[in-house]
Amino acid sequence: MTAATTRRHNPADDGLNEELVALRHTVEEFAHEVVDPKMTENYRNHTFDYDIQAQMGEMGLFGLPFSEEYGGMGGDYFALGIALEELARVDQSVAITLEAGCSLGAMPIYRFGTEEQKQRYLPDLTAGKALAGFGLTEPGAGSDAGGTKTTATLDGGRWTINGSKQFITNSGTDITSLVTTTAVTGTREDGRKEISAIIVPTDTPGFTAEPGYDKVGWNCSDTHPLSYDDVSVPEENLLGARGRGFAQFLSILAEGRVAIAALATGAAQGCVDEAVAYAKQRTSFGRPIADYQGVSFKIARMEARAWTARQAWRTAARKMLTGADFSTEASIAKMVASDAAMDNARDATQVFGGAGFMNETRVARHYRDSKILEIGEGTTEVQLMLIARSLGLAG
């Protein structure tokens, strides 16, 4: 039993209605009873767990932010954030599979797809029976996603795509059905690249998910480089308006930052949970180390970071749901929460001492996993740039 399950009151329930509290408790139970027992072995073997994936689908987690019309649960990003936070307290690889499956995989089609595209792809994606990738990042186009070099040429009613992508989550599993791909489709009047988004089914000839990466962390998440060699898809696979692909993906990334902030908050809180439990049972010089102020104050700061991160992502999510511009709040939440996850992982490892350096502990996984939270879906530096610009400063 962890500190999370022995608390008299869980601050994660604050401000939630009965439905969201029930969702949080359900996912918390699933994370501890189903996910956690398998993750030490999965992490060691870099195993993408299809059984856990299927169970999350059966629970309706992949459908949380989508309407019932397309097989979803009729919820929103706030509900998705609650689920992500609980999963990430135990394991980030499983949480990022859900986050990317919803906000990066299915959401572009939900937001910008035609009715035919939605009916064709969303039911399996929202049920967790299929996954989709978000083909944006390239070897020369990371934070500068406008530097896209992948091209798509329209001829005879078909797009021919050539190029490559890298660091694409959920792109090479046995159930990955498509990758929404950004490509240069022409030149604007001002000389800038015209970038469009195109749906590429993974069984299309010329599309290849290259061997997966040997990563520092997120070992149980699926991540691949992708190659496009004269990949031909119908003209109607264009997602949204031609030339709007870059703008669409910026919108998707803003929403995704709220989801990543929720995930990072879970990681930060998970480190608190583990540090509290360990400090109470580990003795030194005849006393539990929790009795020493140096340890208790360190954990208190960890709790403050997790609490602050939770307020940040929930504030951004609530503003998103009003329809108002939430981009600055999303950047603040993403930065604050990812910093909290990384700082708490470091401090929790210090509380554990040598035991925290062993991969079978959750804090060791969090230590390895959390760094990417300061990089993926917009680096900390990008978030600072966006926040500065919102203040009228140079960014």
Residues acting as catalytic residues: 377
Pairing of strands 176-187, 131-135: parallel
Residue with tokens 């039993």: 1
- Which 3 state secondary structure label does DSSP give 394? coil
> Dmax over Cα atoms in the chain, in whole Å?
79
Name 184's bridge partners.
Answer: 151, 195
Which residues, including other chains, have CB under 8 Å from residue 76's CB and lie 6 or more apart? Answer: 64, 65, 317, 321
Residue with tokens 């990430």: 88
Residue with tokens 């792109």: 171
- Which 3 state secondary structure label does DSSP give 151? strand
CA 169 to mean position of chain CA atoms: 9
Query: What dihedral do alpha carbons 27, 30, 31, 34 form, nearest 10°?
Result: -160
CB atoms within 10 A of CB 72: 22
- Environment class of 118 (CB within 10 Å of its CB; exposed 0-12, middle 13-18, buried 19+): buried
Alpha helix segments (H runs only) across 113-217: 115-126
Alpha helix segments (H runs only) across the chain: 3-6, 18-30, 36-45, 50-58, 77-90, 92-99, 107-112, 115-126, 245-281, 293-322, 327-352, 362-369, 380-390
Of 383, 300, 341, nearest to 92 (Cα)? Answer: 341
Q: Are 129 and 71 in contact (CB under 8 A)?
A: no
CA pair distance 25, 194, nearest whole angstrom: 46
What DSSP string runs through 117-146? Answer: HHHHHHHHHHTTSSEEEEE--BTTBSS-GG
What DSSP string runs through 60-79? Answer: TGGGTTS-GGGT--S--HHH
